[in-house]
Amino acid sequence: MSHGEHKTTAQKLKITHESSQLHVAGTAEYVDDRPFLKGECVVDVYYSPVAHAEILSINIKEALEVDGVLGIYGSEEVHMKIWGNIFHDQPFLADKLVQYAGEVILIIAAENREALLKAKKKIKVEFKELPAVLSIQEARKQKLFIGPCRKIERGEVDKVMALAPHRIKGVIEMAGQDHFYLESQACIAYPKEDGQVEIHISSQHPSEVQQLVAEALNLKFNQVVCIVKRMGGGFGGKESQAAPFAVYATIVARKLNRPARLILTKDDDMQITGKRNPFENEYEVGFDDNGKILALNFELYSDGGAYADLSTAIMERAMLHSDNAYYVPNMRVTGQVCKTNTAPNTAFRGFGGPKGMVTMENIIEEIALTLGKDSLDIREKNVYQKGQTTHYGQEIDDNVLPEIFSQLRKDADYDSRRKEIESFNASGGSLVKGMSLTPIKFGISFTTRFLNQANALVNVLPDGTVQVSTGATEMGQGVNTKIAQVVSDSLGISIDDVRVMPTSTEKNANTSATAASSGSDLNGRAAEVATEKIKARLSQVALQVFARPLEWRGRKVAGAGTVPEIKIDDNDTTCKVIFDNNEIYDPMTSQRISFKDLLLEAYLNRVSLSSYGFYRYPGIFYNKETGQGKPFFYFTNGVAVSEVSLDRYTGEVKVLRSDLLMDLGRVQIEGIDYGQVTGAFVQGMGWVTTEKLYYNEKGVLKTYSPSTYKIPSVHDTPREFNVKFIENPLNERNVKGSKAVGEPPLMLAISVWTAVKNALAYDARKKNKSQKIPKLKLPATQEAVLMSLES
C-alpha cells in the first residue's frame, strides 16, 4: 500500500479541483467556447406554444426567404422517429400532435443568430387546441398513466393499522424544480469523411448520445463519436434530455455538410426541457403512544409529463426511499406515474429519493405533534438499528445512523436550543422560530442493474505523466479530480502528473451516465483496476532490474552482447514493490529506482504501459416484480439540524443555522466533498423553499428566466453553516473506502422544510389551535408560509 493512501487532513485540503484555476480565470472551455470553423452554421428549434393540440398545417415559406437561412427541417428527416430511455414513446420532432408547450416541431439552420430569430417569427403553424391535462389529480381522474402501478410490501399492514392506538391520514404535495444549470443545452456536430460525425456536447451520457444519433439518422454506431470535455452543470437535466439536441444538430450537419452549432438560450431551455417530477403522496400511519411506527401505507403519484423519459425509474427510487432512515415492520408503498401535458419530467439530483424521504419526515413531524413530543425523540425511537432490514429486504449494514443522531444532537446543542426556541416563541413578537433534525439513508447505485458498470483506459507516458480516460463526465462536481487522485495514489506520484482526458466514446465505449452518485465510484474503481495492472507489470520489471548489474540499466546493449530482454508474466497480478514519492522501493533488498527510470526500462523491454480496466458493482440484485432484493451497493448516511424564523406578517423564511454531519466513509479530498455537501444542501433548500414553477391556465411555463424563477442567493444560505464528516474506517467495499457524496446532501435540506412546519406548529399552538397539524406544501414559499400562518 502506497504512502499516498494515508494522506493527512492538510494534504487532502491541498488537492484542488483540476479546473478551479481555469474557472476563476475564465479560460475553461465549454461547448460554445469552441472557435467557429469555416462554414459553420448555427441551429435553433421552433417549439409548440400550446400544451395540447393537433398540428393542422406548417408554413415555412416566408421563413426560408429570410436572408441567411440555410434550411428548415421537420420530422421527415428523422429515420427513427420515436425515442425514449425506458419506453419508446416520444417523437424527436412533432408532426401531427403536440403534447406539451415546448415540444420541438422544427429545426432551423442559418448563417447567424439574427437570421434564426427572424425566421422563427415567420414560421406559421396552425393548431387545433385540445383539452390539456395539467395536474396529477386530473390525470388520476382520467386514468392517464405511464407504466404500471408498482408495489413494495411487507408485513400485515391493514391488520396492524386497524389495531394501532393512533392513526394519521394525509396528503403531501411537492412541486417540481428546474435544474437551472449555468450552461444551457449545447452541442456542435462536425461532419467527417465517409459519413461519420463527431459531436461535442454538454451531456452526462455520451454513449446514449452516440447511440441515439446513430439510430435517429440510420447510421452505424461506429460512425458517431461523442466527446464531452466538461459541462456547466447538469444535476440530471443532461442525463437523457441532451441527446435530442445532438440529433437536431447532426441532421443539419449532414444535410448541409457543415459544422452545426446548437446552443439554447436559458429562456428556451427552461420551456423545452423537463424538471424534477412533482409528486402528490397519500399516506396513512399507525403508531403507539411512544411514537413507534407500527404500520405505514404510502400511495405515491408523480407527474411524468407528456412522455415517460425516466419517470418510472424515478418512481422506483422514491418507493425504495420511502422508509428513509426508519424501520417500519409493516409497510406498503405503491407508485404510479401520471401522464400530463407538461414537458417530460426527468432525472434531478436525488432522483426520486427526496420525494419518498420528505413524505416520511412529514409523517414523523405529525406524529410528534399528535403526541405532544419532540420530533427528534420520535425519530430516535424509529431509526434503523444494526441488523434490521428495509421494506424491500436489504440489510442495513455498516449502520452508523444511531451514532450520528446522538453525535449531532450533542454537537448542535439541540436540547438547550429547543428550550430557547420555546421561550422565544412564548414571548410573542413578529417572528416565530422552528427547528428540526432530519436524516438520510441514500442507496448508492443505479436501480437498473446493467447500468452499474464502467471502464477506464490508463496510459503511462515516458516522462512519468499519466493520461486517464473514463466514461465519467465532469460537470463541476470534481469527478476528474477524484479519479486523478485514485491513479496518483496508486502509482505513488503527484496528482499534478495525472491528467483526466475529455470523455470520448472512441476511448470508453458502452458507458453509463454519470448519475446516481456513482460516477466517482464506478469510474474511479475502473481506473484503479487499470492502474493496478500496469503496476503489476512494472513490479516485475523493477525486480528484474534490481537483480541485474547496475551498468545494464537504461541500455539496449551491454559491452559486445545484447542485454537479455525482461520477460513479463501477464498472469502475475501481484505487486511486490512499493510505489511512493515518484520512486519504486523493494522492501526485500532496499533497492530503489525512480519512476521515470523504471518506465524507461519497461519501454526498452517492450512492456506495455497502457491498460484497460473494467468494474461493476458486485452483489446487487432487485426483483422489480416482487419488490425485493439488494438494489444498493451501500448507503450514504447523514443528519442535519436546521433552525428557521418565520415573519408572521410577511411569511418570509430565514434559515438561521444548519448543522450537517455526514458519513462519507474515508474522506479523500475534503475540499471537493465540502463543496458537494454545501452545494447540494443549498440546492435542496431551493427545492423546499423558493423554487416555484408557475404555469398559466393553458399549461405554458411562466417562470422561465432568472428574473422570475427564484434559486437561492447568498442571502438565503444559513446564517451559521456547520459541516462535519465522521471518521468511518469500516467502509472497505468502495474505492479507497470512500462513499458517494453527489446526491445525498441535497436531502438533508428537508430539515429546513420540517423546521418551517415546526415553526407553524408553534404559531398554531399560540393561537389556541393545539390539535391542528399545519399543512404545508413544498416548496414553502413566502406566499405558502403566509397562507399557513393566516389559516
Closest CA relative to residue 295, chosen from 369, 367, 388: 367
Residue burial 367-396, b: 16+ Cβ < 10 Å; e: rest: bbbbbeebbbebbbbbbbeeeeebbbbbeb
Sheet holding 503-504, edge to edge: 69-73, 104-110, 41-47, 260-263, 186-191, 197-201, 224-228, 503-504
Catalytic (active site) residue 551: no
Residue 107 burial (10 A CB sphere; 0-12, 13-18, 19+): buried
Asked if residue 280 lies in contact with residue 355, where contact means CB atoms within 8 angstroms, the answer is no
Residue owning grid cell 495492472: 533
- 460 vs 584: CA distance, rounded Å: 15
Q: How many CB atoms lie within 10 A of CB 576?
A: 13
Give the integer Cα–Cα distance in Å for 479 and 17. 9
CB-side exposure of 457: number of CA atoms within 13 Å?
A: 15
C-beta of residue 62 within 8 angstroms of C-beta of residue 124? yes
Burial track 177-214 (b if 16+ CB lie within 10 A, e otherwise): bbbbbebbbbbbbbbeeeeebbbbbbbbbbbbbbbbbb
Whole-angstrom distance, CA of residue 182 vs CA of residue 231: 9
Task: Quote the CA–CA distance of 558 and 551 in Å, as a whole number.
Answer: 8
CA distance 282 to 299: 5
How far apart are alpha carbons 385 and 368 in whole angstroms? Answer: 21
Distance CA 632, CA 744 (A): 14
Q: Considering Cα of 16, then 17, then 19, then 23, what sign does the dihedral take?
A: negative
**Nearest CA to 353 among 661, 752, 637, 744?**
744
Q: If you count them, how many residues does the chain have?
A: 791
| Closest to 604 measured CA to CA, from 560, 544, 646, 657 | 544
* Contact assessment for residue 389 and residue 629, using Cβ atoms and an 8 Å cutoff: no
Backbone angles phi, psi at 636, to 5 degrees: -95, 130
Region for residue 280 given its phi and psi (left: phi exceeds 0; alpha: psi -120 to 50; beta: otherwise): beta
CA gyration radius for the chain? 28
- Which amino acid appears at position 381 of this protein? K
Determine contact, residues 394/630, Cβ cutoff 8 Å. Answer: yes
* Centroid of chain to Cα 430: 39
Q: Alpha-carbon distance 2 to 7, whole Å?
A: 10
Asked if the peptide bond before residue 278 counts as cis, ω within 30 degrees of 0, the response is: no
Coil, helix or strand at residue 326: strand
Marked catalytic residue, from 18, 208, 643, 743? 743
> Strands, DSSP E only, in 679-741?
720-725
**Catalytic residue IDs:** 743
